[in-house]
A and B are shown apart, each in its own frame.
Chain A
Amino acid sequence: MIRALEYTGRPFIYIFEEFGRIFTFLINAITWMVRPPLRLRLVFKQMESVGVQSIIVVLITAVFTGMVLALQTFYGFRMFGGEGLVGATVALSMTREIGPVFTGLMVTARAGSAMAAEIGTMRVTEQIDALYAMSVNPIQYLVMPRLVAGVLMLPFLTIVSDFIGIMGGYVVGVFLLNINPGIFMARMVDMVNLGDIFNGLIKSACFGLILSLIGCYKGFNTRGGAEGVGKATTQTVVLSCVSILISDYFLTAFMFR
């Protein structure tokens, strides 16, 4: 009986321990954020890596998501003559949910995994030890710039995603499904308020923190050569995606009450 309880409880203990370690890692990184030197050059480099280099994949995801959203809602709303609400539905979905969440997932796949692989490789090839040996704190040098870049760039990417997604919905709704453009826009402006957009951006900043924190944490704690780097990368993508989706529910429940 006790053994069965032990067996069942062990994964939960591991999960709580892991969360504790990740939280400690975050506090450590925040502490190093405010200590000189500020390392702005590294922050800008990471902003370019996380933000600029992710734009294409975010654009493609957003445009097709907006298009398919318009298509699906059109077929649904047509049954009760609500085609005019397609624009508002696409815009609300994009700004509140799909923009931030899909951007978070896409950036996880592209940049979060790269963070884990890069830092993980540095760990197993002793480059992180070399930083310590040269009196350079690797949390400040490697982790802090990535966290800042994640938090700052995700909202920007989400703005792009929202805009392009709505554009995709507009093109399908107006040019393919012949929805009146005036009604499309008017309903959208009526129903979407600034709070929807703003809350979506706050969510995206949280997702940026989650994906960069997990990517850096997994990379920093990589063990066991190339296989370890592979595992760290996979774990980063899985854990980040799951964490983004779970936190999305709680953030939504908190912000859109």
Chain B
Amino acid sequence: MIRLSNICKSFNDQVVLDQLNLTVEPEKITVIIGQSGCGKSVLLKHMIALIRPDSGQVIVDGEDITSLDEKGLNQTRKKFGMLFQDAALFDSMTVGDNVAFPLREHTRLSEKDIEEVVFEKLKLVGLTESFHKMPSELSGGMRKRVGLARAIALDPKIILFDEPTTGLDPIMKDAIDGLIMKTQELTQATCVVISHDIDSAFKIANKLAMLSDGRIVESGTPEEFQASKNPVVVNFIKGHAETNNQN
């Protein structure tokens, strides 16, 4: 389980997260929604300690990771897999080497065994034929699928997705949504998805949380969200820009 408690984060004078509280339930898909630039990615990066809060606690499996040293953090991060917004594949490596990277770093598997695991993960995302390709030869959607294969290479307990469907066409969006659900079902991992795509969010989420003005203003099941009377949530779901600004 991940619990964020009273998280505050500012960059220079700009307050991004303000006394934020959030609990992510284990073995479920939690989707955090909010407007572009509201701090969703900053929030996600707090969960894996890529960003440290100015104050507050990030509890992962009962341990406050904000007070961990480098060694402790490395141990905690091994529980995580993360799909970055633009996949963050290593340009200098092939697709196969990208997926094999965490296996080579953190396991003692032989090259043959590593290759088997890589094929298995690439098969899951439907990209076995791209094993020897370089990331520059892939489309945006393919890059994200490879990023997902790399994120799940070590079978992590927690998978973080930073805007997995942004910039993709509707068919590819649907494919990525399907992959997230399939991955969660197969691995029973705790999944946290950052998104501003409301259709995708309702489709894949077991639980939704809405971030606005540095706080979680609403959280609940998709059904609860659809019935919400909170004007911020209602305007976001309906896509009412002007009314949203007035709030």
**A interface residues (Cβ-Cβ under 8 A, vs B):** 121-122, 125-127, 129-130, 132-137
Contacts and interface: CB of A to CB of B under 8 A. Distances in A.
B60 interface: no
17 contacts: A125-B86, A126-B88, A127-B91, A130-B84, A130-B88, A132-B77, A133-B48, A133-B50, A133-B80, A133-B82, A134-B77, A134-B101, A134-B105, A134-B106, A135-B73, A135-B105, A135-B106
Contact of B78 (A126, A135, A137): A135
B13 to A, nearest CB: 17
B220 interface: no
Contacts of A136: 105
Given A132-B50, A132-B77, A125 B88 contact: yes
B105 A129 contact: no
A121 B48 contact: no
Contacts of A122: 90-91
Contact of B91 (A121, A132, A133, A134): A121
B23 interface: no
Contact of B84 (A126, A135, A137): A126
A137 B70 CA distance: 9
Given A136-B105, A137-B70, A129 B91 contact: no
Contact of B74 (A121, A126, A130, A135): A135
A125 B91 CA distance: 10
Given A129-B88, A130-B88, A135 B77 contact: yes
B45 interface: yes
Interface string B188-214: 000000000000000000000000000
B85 interface: yes
Nearest to A136: B105
Interface residues of B, number: 22
Interface string B215-246: 00000000000000000000000000000000
Nearest to B102: A134
Nearest to A141: B105
A135 B76 CA distance: 9
A121 B90 CA distance: 10
A58 to B, nearest CB: 24
Nearest to B76: A135
Given A121-B91, A133-B84, 5 more contacts: A129-B84, A130-B90, A132-B50, A132-B77, A135-B106
A132 B82 CA distance: 10
Interface in B67-97: 70, 73-75, 77-78, 80, 82, 84-86, 88-91
A135 B70 CA distance: 9
A231 to B, nearest CB: 19
Nearest to A32: B70
A127 B92 CA distance: 11
Contacts of B89: 127
A46 to B, nearest CB: 12
A27 to B, nearest CB: 14
Nearest to B92: A118
A28 to B, nearest CB: 10
Contacts of B86: 125-126
A136 B90 CA distance: 13
B77 A129 contact: no
Given A121-B91, A134-B102, A135-B105, A129 B45 contact: yes
B88 A127 contact: yes
Pick from B74, B82, B88, B102 the residue with the most CB of A within 10 Å. B88
Interface string B174-185: 000000000000
B85 A126 contact: yes
Contacts of B101: 134
Contacts of A134: 77, 101-102, 105-106
Contacts of A129: 45, 50, 84, 88
Contacts of B91: 121-122, 125, 127
